[in-house]
């Protein structure tokens, strides 16, 4: 403990102050309460997973973004200098490309990695615990994930995901339920959103009728960028991936069509009519929208035929939610996957889920000033500290207030009353109860309402009632 360090935290990570925590807890508490109301149950998985669980699940790019944890103990002792020489041969600074061999070396000294998302650990959980689980299994999970992405505004290396999934049921009622959850959550937040829905089977059908069924991944990856790069650039990317003009000409009207949900469904129904998968997708979309009509959703819900979602494991409905009155990327997204647990040895278990982006929702609530005022309320009552005997005099009152559930603290140090006042104000405390020698003698307290400035002197025996009535009303 010798020299003084200037404290800092790793780039892309954050400290959360009490004010920020209040906002974040409001978000977590809200989504949690809605998840519960729909019968979802919490699970948690370890922050570290075996790298064998994580690698290969997020594409090549994802593998690079995994944070690896060095084996504990003497991590390097099992590697000989010869091994090392071989392993790093291609990764000297002369070669600029990321080196596979350096990767291989890291795998020799790291067996664990930090969780990259909550979906793969969930799949792993379901397979590992399948004998204890009653299917359909409805779970939610609110935990941080880590990605070694280049940090930038709104993109962090540690951030929370709030995932809600049901696994072991193919019914479209599950999709409806997720739409209802989104509807209710953003209703509570007071954020107007648009819930965009598409179906991966329709995209498969499109790739088929375009004549490039084998290029489904490339087509969806390109489509996914349409909001960012525009139609022309999407076309360019597809052509460079081997899709021909004729194929793209089938897709183009689908991507550019504007109209009602009914009209969109009519259009796509016609375009993919020669693909069985495509027709199934259209049927699913129709059924889902009919359920949505029956259930009555307050927020805007629409078909978005250009919606693709990057992740390859989606196989049915896909969702994305955007805030209507605040410019930010999607604040919620998800979809149905038919074989996520297959890689862990449990094939053919269908599930559907969505993930709420807590950080972006925080930004939207801040930007639209929609955080409820009482979300940031901390202590309600401060008791003064004038001298030893008045502290003892106020001690029972603190206990009584807390027993009513009123958060209350006694200023710990004997200092000037002015300083205690300032403390109360900076902490947004509502009432300051003051007692000094004279109050002890007269068995009274002086109560100052710090919001209105009003001041009252009351018998100490009546203070609890006065505060309770004013605060708990």
Rounded to whole angstroms, the Cα distance separating 362 from 21 reads 11
Supply the minimum distance, in Å, between the C-beta of residue 149 and its own copies: 9
Nearest to 352 by CA among 318, 321, 309, 302: 318
- Minimum distance from residue 230 beta carbon to its own copies (Å): 31
Nearest CB to its own copies, comparing residues 10 and 453: 10
Spatial CB neighbours of 167, under 8 Å, sequence gap ≥ 6 = 122, 126, 135, 136, 137, 139, 341, 349, 350, 351, 353
Nearer to its own copies, 65 or 328 (CB): 65
- Within 13 Å of residue 244, how many CA atoms lie on the same side as its CB? 5
Which residue of 155, 273, 300, 402 would you call a contact of its own copies, by CB under 8 A? 402
From 62, 109, 252, 466, residue interacting with its own copies (rule: CB under 8 A): 109
Question: What string marks each residue from 154 to 193 as x (binds its own copies by CB under 8 A) or -?
Answer: ---xx-------x--xxx-xx--x--x---x---------
Instruction: Answer positive or negative: Cα dihedral of 285, 37, 351, 45.
Output: positive
Question: According to CB under 8 A, which one of 62, 88, 269, 400 is a site residue for its own copies?
Answer: 88
Q: Which of 152, 258, 327, 345 binds its own copies (CB under 8 A)?
A: 345
State the minimum distance, in angstroms, from the CB of residue 264 to its own copies.
23
Exposure b/e, 164-192, CB count within 10 A at least 16 = b = bbbbbbeebebbbbbbbbbbbbbeebebb
Looking at 85-93, 221-229, 249-257, 267-275, which segment touches its own copies (CB under 8 A)?
Answer: 85-93
Does 322 engage in binding with its own copies (CB under 8 A)? Answer: no
Q: Could you give the count of Cα atoms lying within 13 Å of 105 in the half-sphere of its Cβ?
A: 20
**In the complex with its own copies, which residue's Cβ is closer, 148 or 368?**
148
Q: Is 47 in the site for its own copies (CB under 8 A)?
A: yes
* C-alpha–C-alpha distance, residues 430 and 448, integer Å: 8
Distance CA 124, CA 119 (A): 9
Least distance between its own copies and beta carbon 123 (Å): 8
Per CB under 8 A, does 76 bind its own copies? yes
Closest approach, Cβ 28 to its own copies, in A, equals 11
- We find the least distance from the C-beta atom of residue 155 to its own copies, in angstroms, to be 14
Q: Report the candidate in 180, 203, 196 with the shortest Cα–Cα distance to residue 302.
A: 196
175 Cβ contact list (under 8 Å, min separation 6): 288, 291, 316, 317, 336, 352
Residue 206 CB, nearest distance to its own copies (Å)? 23
Give the contacts of 247 (CB within 8 A, at least 6 positions apart): 210, 211, 212, 238
- Shortest separation between residue 44's beta carbon and its own copies, angstroms: 4
**Residue 348 touches its own copies, criterion: CB under 8 A:** no
Total Cβ atoms within 10 A of residue 7: 5
Using the rule CB under 8 A, which residue among 45, 192, 269, 280 binds its own copies?
Answer: 45
Q: Which of residues 263-302 bind its own copies (CB under 8 A)?
A: 291, 294-296
Q: Which of residues 373-392 bind its own copies (CB under 8 A)?
A: 378-379, 382, 385, 391-392
Give yes or no for residue 417 binding its own copies (CB under 8 A): no
Q: How many alpha carbons fall within 13 Å on the CB side of residue 158?
A: 11
Residues 4 and 26: their CA atoms lie apart, in Å, by 37
Does residue 197 interact with its own copies by CB under 8 A? Answer: no
Site for its own copies in 227-266 (CB under 8 A): none
Say how many residues touch its own copies, by CB under 8 A. 123
Among 23, 112, 185, 234, binds its own copies (CB under 8 A): 112
- Judge whether 383 and 341 are in contact, CB under 8 Å: no
**SS3 assignment, position 25:** helix
Task: For residues 234 and 224, give the distance between their C-alpha atoms in angstroms, rounded to a whole number.
Answer: 9
Residue 254 CB, shortest distance to its own copies, in Å, is 29
Q: What is the closest distance, in whole angstroms, from the C-beta atom of residue 175 to its own copies in the complex?
A: 10
């Amino acid at each position: 403990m010798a020299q003084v360090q200037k404290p800092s935290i790793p780039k892309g990570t954050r400290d959360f102050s009490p004010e920020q925590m209040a906002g974040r807890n409001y978000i977590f508490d809200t989504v949690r309460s809605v998840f519960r109301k729909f019968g979802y149950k919490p699970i948690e998985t370890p922050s570290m997973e075996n790298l064998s669980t994580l690698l290969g699940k997020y594409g090549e790019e994802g593998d690079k973004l995994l944070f690896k944890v060095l084996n504990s103990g003497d991590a390097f002792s099992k590697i000989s200098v010869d091994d090392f020489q071989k392993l790093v041969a291609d990764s000297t600074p002369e070669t600029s490309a990321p080196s596979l061999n350096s990767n291989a070396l890291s795998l020799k000294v790291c067996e664990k990695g930090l969780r990259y998302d909550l979906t793969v650990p969930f799949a792993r959980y379901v397979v590992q615990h399948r004998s204890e689980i009653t299917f359909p299994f409805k779970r939610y999970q609110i935990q941080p994930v880590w990605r070694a992405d280049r940090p930038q505004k709104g993109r962090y290396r540690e951030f929370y995901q709030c995932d809600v999934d049901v696994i072991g049921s193919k019914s479209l009622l599950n999709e409806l339920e997720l739409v209802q959850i989104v509807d209710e959550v953003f209703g509570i937040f007071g954020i107007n959103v648009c819930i965009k829905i598409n179906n991966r089977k329709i995209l498969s059908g499109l790739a088929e009728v375009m004549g490039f069924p084998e290029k489904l991944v490339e087509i969806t990856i390109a489509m996914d960028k349409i909001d960012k790069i525009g139609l022309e650039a999407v076309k360019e990317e597809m052509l460079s991936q081997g899709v021909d003009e004729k194929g793209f000409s089938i897709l183009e009207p689908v991507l550019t069509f504007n109209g009602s949900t009914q009209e969109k469904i009519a259009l796509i129904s016609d375009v993919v009519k020669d693909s069985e998968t495509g027709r199934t997708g259209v049927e699913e979309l129709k059924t889902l929208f009919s359920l949505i009509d029956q259930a009555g959703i307050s927020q805007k819900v629409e078909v978005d035929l250009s919606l693709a979602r990057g992740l390859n494991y989606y196989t049915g409905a896909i969702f994305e939610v955007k805030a209507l009155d605040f410019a930010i990327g999607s604040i919620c997204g998800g979809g149905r996957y038919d074989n996520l647990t297959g890689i862990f040895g449990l094939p053919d278990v269908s599930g559907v889920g969505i993930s709420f982006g807590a950080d972006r929702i925080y930004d939207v609530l801040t930007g639209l000033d929609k955080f409820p005022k009482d979300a940031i309320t901390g202590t309600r009552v401060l008791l003064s500290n004038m001298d030893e005997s008045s502290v003892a005099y106020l001690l029972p009152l603190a206990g009584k207030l807390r027993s009513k559930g009123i958060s209350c603290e006694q200023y710990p140090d004997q200092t000037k009353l002015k300083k205690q006042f300032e403390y109360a104000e900076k902490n947004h405390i509502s009432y300051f109860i003051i007692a000094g020698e004279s109050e002890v003698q007269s068995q009274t307290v002086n109560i100052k309402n710090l919001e209105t400035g009003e001041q009252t002197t009351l018998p100490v025996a009546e203070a609890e009632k006065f505060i309770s009535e004013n605060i708990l009303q």
